[in-house]
A and B are shown apart, each in its own frame.
Chain A
Amino acid sequence: SYVLTQPPSVSVAPGKTAYITCGGDNLGGKSVHWYQLKPGQAPVLVINFNTDRPSGIPERVSGSNSGNTATLTISRVEAGDEADYYCQVWDSNSDHWVFGGGTKLTVL
C-alpha cells in the first residue's frame, strides 16, 4: 500500500518560515492535500490539490509538490500556527485515501 512519510516534528521561531515535508513514491504525480489539527477543534483544510488555498486561509500558507516530496510552507509563523499538520492523497491503485503520520509544528 502507498505510504506517506512526514517528520514527527518541526520547530520554528515566530516570524520565520516553517517547511513541513511529505514524502512518497512519485508523489509529484498525485494531488496532495494538507490539514491542520488543533486540540478540541475540527480539522481544517489548509492546502488542496498541491498548491490551492481554500477561502479563509492566509496567503502566507503555501504548498508545492514535485518528484517524491510535497512541502507545506508557512511564512511569518505565528503562535496560532502551532498545530499538527497532515498530508493526504488518494491512491488511485487501491482507490483508498492515505494520510501521512503527521508533523507537530512548535512555535518557539
Chain B
Amino acid sequence: QVQLQESGPGLVKPSETLSLTCSVSGGSISSYYWTWIRQPPGKGLEWIGYVYYNGYTKSNPSLKSRVTISVDTSKNQFSLKLNSVTAADTAVYYCARVSGGSRSPADYWGQGTLVIVSS
C-alpha cells in the first residue's frame, strides 16, 4: 500500500519561502507523476503542480513563477517550494500520486499539512 507523508514548517513568515517534502513509502517514486494540491481554509481544492519522476514539471499559472517542484528518486521524495508567500497561501497542502499520465487521477494522498503564513 502506497503511503505519502507531508513534512515541513507549519508557520511561515510573509515574503519568505514555504518548503514542504512528501515522503513516499510502500512503492517506488519512479514511473509516476506526483502532485501538490492545496485547500485554503473554507475554500476549494487548488492544483499547484506536478512533477514526473524524471524531473519534468508543470505548475498552475495562477501561481506564476513562485512554484518549484522537484523530485529526489534516491530518497523516494518530492518537494514543493513556494516563494514570496502571503496570507493567501495559508492552506492545507496535500501531496498525492497520479495513477498514470497527466489525465489520470490522484489515487493516493497524504493526510495534508496545514501551513499558516503569518508574522
Q: What residues make up the interface of A, taking CB atoms closer than 8 Å to B?
A: 1, 31, 33, 35, 37, 41-45, 48-49, 54, 86, 88, 90, 92, 94-102
Contacts and interface: CB of A to CB of B under 8 A. Distances in A.
Interface string B82-119: 00000000000010100100111111011110000000
28 contacts: A1-B61, A31-B103, A33-B105, A35-B106, A37-B39, A37-B45, A41-B111, A42-B94, A42-B111, A43-B45, A43-B94, A43-B96, A43-B109, A48-B99, A48-B105, A48-B107, A88-B45, A90-B102, A90-B104, A95-B58, A96-B47, A96-B58, A97-B35, A97-B50, A97-B60, A99-B37, A99-B45, A99-B46
Interface in B36-65: 37, 39, 44-47, 50, 58, 60-61
Interface of B: 35, 37, 39, 44-47, 50, 58, 60-61, 94, 96, 99, 102-107, 109-112
A37 B44 CA distance: 10
